[in-house]
Amino acid sequence: MTTMKVFTYSEARQNLSKLLNIAQREEVEIRRKDGSVFSLIPKKKEAKSPFDVQGVKTKATTQDILDAIRESRMS
């Protein structure tokens, strides 16, 4: 069983870089003097589809595109 790293608020502020490096591998808790506790976990990167591309601006209308496709298929 893995032990979770626990930092006080002051330790977390002073060692933020170290804390983030640890949080890449395991969950980290930050505890305040008032007793409140926060968990720090890495956000997973969402896999993007290779078809997820940014659109382009064009003056061509949908009908222009359909006409060009139809014309290319007639050749």
Report the number of distinct structural domains present in the chain: 1
Specify the CATH number for the domain of residue 29.
3.40.1620.10
Give the C-alpha separation, 53 to 10, whole Å.
43
The whole domain housing 5 covers 1-42
Centroid of chain to Cα 72: 41
b/e 29-66 (16+ beta carbons within 10 angstroms → b): ebeeeeeeeeebeeeeeeeeeeeeeeeeeeeeeeeeee
Q: What is the pLDDT of residues 15-48, one digit of tens each?
A: 999 999 999 888 999 999 999 999 998 887 777 8
pTM of the model: 0.52
- The answer to whether residue 59 is domain-embedded is no
